């Protein structure tokens, strides 16, 4: 196989500095990973060249590689080249094709990782674009390098020759059919080579038969097709705000979390990456949260990605027509999500437990009523039509919001303690009532509109009166005013529940910045010692809250303050432009599942709002 043409790589990319590899308790830092994907699943690739996470055939299925959760037993697709003096990685242009380069004493090894797209794949349509493959092209770009490649899967494998290829049977996952193909002879699940500058070897891992011919026979075409697919999709990208390139990479990352086949969007591609090293706050985020709906629709539509926005919205509205509305779903709309602990994996940096499934699926979270109705409202505002059967279901959700807004729930942060009447949940129930009433009046739908409107007004008044903490001068986490402050309240002006310039909201923004500050622009969601959540220990700073603060400052006309915070928040991305769920305030290291849709959606929305405010000013 010939090496990838030099035209794929810019001079500026090749001038990026090599950095030494650093391991923490035997693990690469979370921020030293990149994401590749194809609209069906995604993989994490470390700066050391190891693929440490991959579920097949889709995001929420079994992980064949999970060494990021247990370096010894998790399984990985590794490239070893002896002592690495330095490493660097970058994306190839505006694509999710990842380039990793390892510098050793005798030369430099380049690894190009991608999940190829089908020829002329259209990522904007609800049609499968994936080929069911992982392609790794390994080439020596200077000197001579001896390296080995090894594939391992949790539970062990049987590698059996099948013609020129290797059939791999994962003993723990017999339902997965894997085939490893290579451009040079291999004896088992890998091999060793000594290559000189310009020489290369490619590997193609296919699951369940793949689609069409193997990309190992035509890696240049696979790269070209994949770049073309992403380039065509990005033609829709329209953004006039600050940090243009960072926002574009956020859009690409969100698309990598989009299940193209039906428009569902997962929260993150991983499970159990800890919110605090050594803590128990480890959750499975490979599911679709109803809450993400309005955030995603808002962000993607403003970047010009109408198909993605409406695809996700339609998926959400399909769930609203079910007899029971849940907090989260699998990619195919199932609510059968049971949480269980994995006793055999030690967890990232020994931060167990590792969890599969998510117990929050069975929680009460009253804000889902507002998320659904806001999505429906956005849908009709841009030409969508609500059928009578769908309106019947939506009307039922509005009635539930009217009846349940002042009842306890677990809230947006999905606490594992006894519920309380959450200010944020009550506020988003007001969104359900407001949007429901407006829909009914606009289209002549049936419903108790007068009662809905009166209750919406009552909720606003109650929040401003009953959640006000006079001593602390802030709107508190719960109605009653005796609870501590919570960054979730920053979300209410964004949803037009409370005017951002209302004196009590201005005071709350000031109090959040003071009491929940984690340093610089970072904010905690809440303080567990002040707001018990049923879990031990603390957590890192939650990045979405930083962007909500920026949005509030923008709406208050404090543009320079908002811009300064936006600059700081965007600077938190890793070398590849990716964001986690949380940041360790003490070290700046990434925490939580990665990359996180909420964080990237926050960047997109804040950037758009700032751009609009700057243009108006």
Spatial distance between the Cα atoms of 193 and 148, rounded to a whole number of angstroms: 6
Element (DSSP H or E) covering residue 378: helix 367-381
What is residue 1's predicted lDDT score, i.e. its pLDDT?
35
Spatial distance between the Cα atoms of 554 and 1, rounded to a whole number of angstroms: 54
Spatial distance between the Cα atoms of 70 and 352, rounded to a whole number of angstroms: 10
35 strand-pairing partners: 44
3-class DSSP state for residue 606?
helix
pLDDT tens column, 95-128: 999 999 999 999 999 999 999 998 888 888 767 7
3-class DSSP state for residue 595?
coil
What are the start-end ranges of the E strands in 183-303?
A: 190-196, 200-207, 258-259, 264-265, 288-289
Cβ pair 579, 545 in contact under 8 A: no
Nearest alpha-carbon partner for 507 in 477, 470, 479: 470
What is residue 119's predicted lDDT score, i.e. its pLDDT?
86
180 strand-pairing partners: 166, 205
What pTM value is reported for the model? 0.95
Query: How are strands ordered across the β-sheet holding 582-583?
Result: 541-542, 582-583, 590-591
Cβ pair 603, 246 in contact under 8 A: yes
Nearest alpha-carbon partner for 459 in 491, 494, 432: 432
Which structure tokens are listed for 330? Answer: 């699998």
**Residues composing the chain:** 617
Spatial distance between the Cα atoms of 433 and 439, rounded to a whole number of angstroms: 10
What is residue 12's predicted lDDT score, i.e. its pLDDT?
54
Q: What separation in angstroms does the CA of 319 have from each of 269, 335, 357, 364?
A: 21, 10, 19, 16
Task: Identify the residue whose tokens are 């539509």.
Answer: 301
Task: Identify the residue whose tokens are 């809230």.
Answer: 411
The string over 33-51, giving b where at least 16 C-beta atoms fall within 10 Å of a residue's C-beta and e elsewhere, is bbbbbbbbbbbbbbbbbbb
| Binned average pLDDT, 10 residues per bin, the chain of 617 residues | 53 76 97 97 98 97 97 97 98 97 98 93 80 96 97 94 88 94 90 96 91 82 94 95 98 95 94 96 95 86 89 84 80 93 96 95 92 91 87 94 96 89 97 97 96 98 96 94 92 97 98 96 95 91 98 98 98 98 97 98 98 92
């Amino acid at each position: 196989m010939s090496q990838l043409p030099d035209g794929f790589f810019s001079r500026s990319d090749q001038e990026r500095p090599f950095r030494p590899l650093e391991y923490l308790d035997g693990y690469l830092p979370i921020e030293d990973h990149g994401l590749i994907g194809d609209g069906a699943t995604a993989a994490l690739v470390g700066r050391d060249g190891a693929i440490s996470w991959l579920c097949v055939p889709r995001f929420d299925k079994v992980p064949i590689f999970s060494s990021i959760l247990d370096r010894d037993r998790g399984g990985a697709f590794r490239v070893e080249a002896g002592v690495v003096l330095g490493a660097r990685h970058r994306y190839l242009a505006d694509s999710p094709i990842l380039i990793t380069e390892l510098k050793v004493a005798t030369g430099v090894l380049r690894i190009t990782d991608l999940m190829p797209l089908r020829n002329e794949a259209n990522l904007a349509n609800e049609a499968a674009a994936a080929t069911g493959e992982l392609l790794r092209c390994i080439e020596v770009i200077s000197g001579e390098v001896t390296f080995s490649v090894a594939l391992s899967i949790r539970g062990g494998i049987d590698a059996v020759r099948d013609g020129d290829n290797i059939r791999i049977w994962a003993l723990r996952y017999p339902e997965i059919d894997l085939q490893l193909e290579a451009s040079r002879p291999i004896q088992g699940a890998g091999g060793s080579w000594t290559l000189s500058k310009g020489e290369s070897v490619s590997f193609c891992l296919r699951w369940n038969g793949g689609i069409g011919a193997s990309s190992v026979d035509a890696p240049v075409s696979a790269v070209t097709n994949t770049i073309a697919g992403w380039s065509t999709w990005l033609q829709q990208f329209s953004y006039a705000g600050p940090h243009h390139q960072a926002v574009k990479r956020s859009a690409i990352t969100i698309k990598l979390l989009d299940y193209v086949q039906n428009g569902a969007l997962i929260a993150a591609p991983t499970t159990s990456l800890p919110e605090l090293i050594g803590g128990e706050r480890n959750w499975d985020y490979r599911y679709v949260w109803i809450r993400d709906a309005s955030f995603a629709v808002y962000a993607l539509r403003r970047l010009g990605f109408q198909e993605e926005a409406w695809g996700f919205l339609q998926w959400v509205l399909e769930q609203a027509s079910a007899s029971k509305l849940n907090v989260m779903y699998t990619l195919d709309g199932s609510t059968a999500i049971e949480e269980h602990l994995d006793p055999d994996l030690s967890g990232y940096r020994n931060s167990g437990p590792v969890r599969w499934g998510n117990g929050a699926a069975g929680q009460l979270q009253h804000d889902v009523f507002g998320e659904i109705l806001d999505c429906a409202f956005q849908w009709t505002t841009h030409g969508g039509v609500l059928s009578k059967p769908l309106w019947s279901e939506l009307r039922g959700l509005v009635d539930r919001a009217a009846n349940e807004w002042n009842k306890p729930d677990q809230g947006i942060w999905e606490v594992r303690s006894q519920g309380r009447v959450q200010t944020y949940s009550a506020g988003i129930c007001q969104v359900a009532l407001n949007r429901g009433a407006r829909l009914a009046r606009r289209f002549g739908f049936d419903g108790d509109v007068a009662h809905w409107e009166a209750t919406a007004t009552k909720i606003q008044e109650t929040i401003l009166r009953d959640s006000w903490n006079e001593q602390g001068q802030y709107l508190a986490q719960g109605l009653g005013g005796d609870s501590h402050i919570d960054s979730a309240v920053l979300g209410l002006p964004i949803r037009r529940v409370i005017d951002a310039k209302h004196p009590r909201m201005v005071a709350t923004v000031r109090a959040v910045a003071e009491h929940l500050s984690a340093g610089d622009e970072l904010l905690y969601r809440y303080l567990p010692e002040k707001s018990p959540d049923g879990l031990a220990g603390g957590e890192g700073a939650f990045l979405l809250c930083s962007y909500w603060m920026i949005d509030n400052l923008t709406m208050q006309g404090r543009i320079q303050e908002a811009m300064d915070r936006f600059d700081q928040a965007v600077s938190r991305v890793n070398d590849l432009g990716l964001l986690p769920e949380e940041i360790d305030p003490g070290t700046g290291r990434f925490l939580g599942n990665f990359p996180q849709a909420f964080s990237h959606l926050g960047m997109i929305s804040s950037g758009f709002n700032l751009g609009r405010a700057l243009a108006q000013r």
